[in-house]
Amino acid sequence: MSPLQHVNPRVRGIRVSSHSSLQNLAAHITQEITQGAQKSFKVVLDVASCDPRQAGMKPISFVQQVLAACLYPQLLKDQSLPLDVRLRAQSLLEVCDGESVGSYTASSGLPHVRQSIAEFIRRRDAGVPSYAKDVFISGGSQRALMVIVKLLAREEGETRTGVLIPVPCPHTLPMLLDEAGVTLVPYRLIEEGGWAVDLDQLHQALKTARGHCEPRAIYISNPGNPTGHVQDRKSIKEIIQFAAAERLLLLVDEVYQDSVYGQDREFISYKKVLFEMDKAYSETVELVSFHSLSSACMGECGLRAGFMEVVNMDPEVMHYVDTMLCSDISTPVTGQLTLDLMVNPPTAGDPSYDAYAQEILHSWATLSQNAQRAWQFLNGLPGMSCQPAMGGVYLYPSLHLPPEIIEQAKIFKVEADVLYCQRLLQEEGVFVGAGSQHGEETDRHHLRLCVLVPSDTLEEVLARLGSFHHRLVDRFARSNKGVRGRDKWQNTVTEHVVPC
């Protein structure tokens, strides 16, 4: 008997995501190029997901230097390293067992780093209390989210736990919630309003869900992933009041809080707004907020560390949070130490401060300028429109596809925007995400582009995308005048179509 017959049916039933199929196609094309295949491009440009290092964005020198000294303590004597780098590395090693990054830590993270995070939150929120005991470090923010959702999960019929999620949502969220065993309760963001959260949509989602499941939490992404929307204080307050009235746990993804660039917009944490409200809210509404090294300015996705802060949760439940984290033993120590560097960077007067400030500013300016440049370009393409991003690392343009493409997609059993992305990959070597990964309905088509890339890379992406899109539009303009153009498209789409 095959061991796979014993695999959890939930796991066996998960359909391969369109993102995975596009990743596989990108890898296949890259392999073809390596083996000498002749194509119109020399390299595949990946702007589907945010990976600043893979995209060519330079890391922060201070982070690299401190981690190097922690991994190789002999560097603590190297006078070529700035003094504050050596002092920080020494202090971090001292809080590790055996003064080594190779040692285990507590399942919830190093106490020193949890304290640093609590102090960062107090500074960020202008003195709102924060305590290390309420901070839990995990192997990325999604791992932390999984821990909380699994504590909520019930699987019995109408009492099965439901979680309200935005549409569009982060492309990994539906699979994560499915794995946790909860029901997805979608609420639509308002594209015409810049992807704003709408209270009417929330109430409608709850009304539709009740009788099928028991909604117990609402997930919010602020700044929005993949929409780039940034909520203002009024919107946040309304969501808190909604959660209180409906007795919902607030799950707030604030990973891109360091990347707000929209005019007259600033990042305001849900916790700060909550503590500005009456005690009827500030002392009762349960809130879990998430942050991680995948933030725009730090961008150290591969170090796999994030944290959550838990507010107003029952102490007995907090115990189970810690117990659930024990199943991972501990978050990689290098990632935990980098969290400390993220929340407690060099300050004015430190030897590393000027270089650190310049590098952070360069990353932020590149992101802001790229978002504006890409937004203008995408809105200039026929059949495409894009809301301006206010923060985050993605643009999420709407794609108005010819009926012929939609029909071809049905034949090949893929979503129309996925078919568009496949052809873009094959013809121009540009890897973008498809909106159907984000919980979108089949009659809506979008693309996801990460703009946290070097400016010259973005220009190359836009040039290739524009060339492909104009060819596509011309192809169907000709097809409307005769059969030959339509046949040409049909012949091209039958090659390497990857069903999802």
Residue for token pair 């005769």: 482
Assess whether 213 and 327 both reside in one domain: yes
% of the chain exceeding 90 in pLDDT? 74
Q: How many domains does the chain have?
A: 2
Distances (CA, A) of 342 to 85, 111, 143, 274: 14, 16, 19, 24
Assess whether 118 and 30 both reside in one domain: no
The answer as to whether 71 is a domain residue is no
CATH number at 260 reads 3.40.640.10
Task: Write the CB contacts of 445 (distance below 8 Å, at least 6 apart in sequence).
Answer: 398, 399, 400, 401, 415, 416, 417, 420, 435, 436
The answer as to whether 79 is a domain residue is no
Looking at residue 392, the DSSP 8-state letter turns out to be S
pLDDT of residue 474: 85
Assess whether 300 and 373 both reside in one domain: no
- Residue-wise pLDDT for 10-49, tens only, equals 433 334 456 788 999 999 999 999 999 999 999 999 999 8
Q: What is the mean pLDDT of residues 386-406?
A: 93
- Residue-wise pLDDT for 166-206, tens only, equals 999 999 999 999 999 999 999 999 999 999 999 999 999 99
Judged against a pLDDT cut of 90, whether residue 216 lies above it is answered with yes
Least confident span in 173-177, 363-367, 410-414: 410-414
The answer as to whether 307 is a domain residue is yes
Assess whether 366 and 328 both reside in one domain: no
pLDDT of residue 15: 41
Is 344 or 297 the better-scoring residue by pLDDT? 344
pLDDT of residue 158: 67
- Residue-wise pLDDT for 438-474, tens only, equals 666 667 899 999 999 999 999 999 999 999 999 988 8
Is 85 or 496 the better-scoring residue by pLDDT? 85
The answer as to whether 476 is a domain residue is yes
Q: CA 50, CA 371: separation in Å to the nearest integer?
A: 14
- Token pair listed for 373: 């440049």
Assess whether 138 and 184 both reside in one domain: yes
The answer as to whether 218 is a domain residue is yes
**Residue that terminates a domain, selected from 282, 314, 343:** 343
Expressed as residue numbers, the domain containing 229 is 104-343
- Residue-wise pLDDT for 269-324, tens only, equals 999 999 999 999 999 999 999 999 998 888 899 999 999 999 999 888 887 787 77
* Vertex 403: Cα angle to 401 and 409 (nearest 5): 80
The answer as to whether 78 is a domain residue is no
pTM given for the model? 0.91
Assess whether 336 and 479 both reside in one domain: no
